[in-house]
């Protein structure tokens, strides 16, 4: 596969973390950056093509937040299955979400904006599969 070179500037600490991960994986920096970019672009491109979607959304918060329940309760058009647990001072929730990709994108965005929460999104089918059907 042909490669295209371009420069990217990152903070010193991020560059050091990249070097550490590359070393642990036995890869060069470019390979690690390519893997990370591919995953990021697939996840975000997934939101662009309208389709019925199934995704996992995991979030961990400093404590039970009323705001989380309010956000979840505001999306009655989504089918949401929840797994909720606590560990120490952290509240962990795994959500299996099904519905319109644009509504799921909005839902994820609202969760990601909550202070004290870290949120991860993972579509459960490939965007190429969706693109073929469109």
Residue 54 sits in the same domain as residue 118: yes
Within-domain flag for 7: no
Each of the 134 residues of the chain gets a pLDDT tens digit; together they read: 788 888 889 999 999 999 999 999 999 999 999 998 888 787 777 767 788 888 999 999 887 678 888 999 999 999 999 999 998 888 999 999 999 988 998 999 999 998 888 999 888 865 444 444 44
Quick one: 55 and 86 in the same domain? yes
Residue 2 lies in a domain: no
80 and 67: one domain?
Answer: yes
Q: Are residues 56 and 74 in the same domain?
A: yes
pTM of the predicted protein model: 0.69
Are 59 and 120 within 8 A, CB to CB? yes
**Helix (H) or strand (E) segment spanning residue 117:** strand 117-123
- Can you give the residue range of the structural domain that contains 39? 12-45
> What CATH number did the domain enclosing 56 receive?
3.30.70.1150
């Amino acid at each position: 596969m042909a490669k295209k070179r371009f420069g990217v500037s990152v903070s010193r600490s991020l560059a050091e973390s990249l070097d550490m991960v590359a070393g642990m994986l036995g890869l060069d920096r470019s390979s690690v950056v390519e893997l990370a970019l591919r995953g990021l672009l697939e996840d975000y491109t997934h939101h662009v093509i309208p389709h019925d979607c199934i995704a996992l959304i995991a979030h961990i918060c400093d404590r039970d937040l009323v705001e989380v329940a309010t956000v979840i309760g505001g999306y009655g058009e989504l089918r949401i299955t929840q797994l909720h647990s606590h560990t120490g001072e952290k509240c962990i929730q795994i959500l299996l979400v099904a519905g319109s990709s644009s509504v799921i994108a909005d839902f994820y965005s609202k969760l990601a904006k909550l202070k004290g929460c870290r949120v991860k999104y993972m579509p459960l089918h490939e965007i190429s599969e969706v693109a073929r059907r469109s």
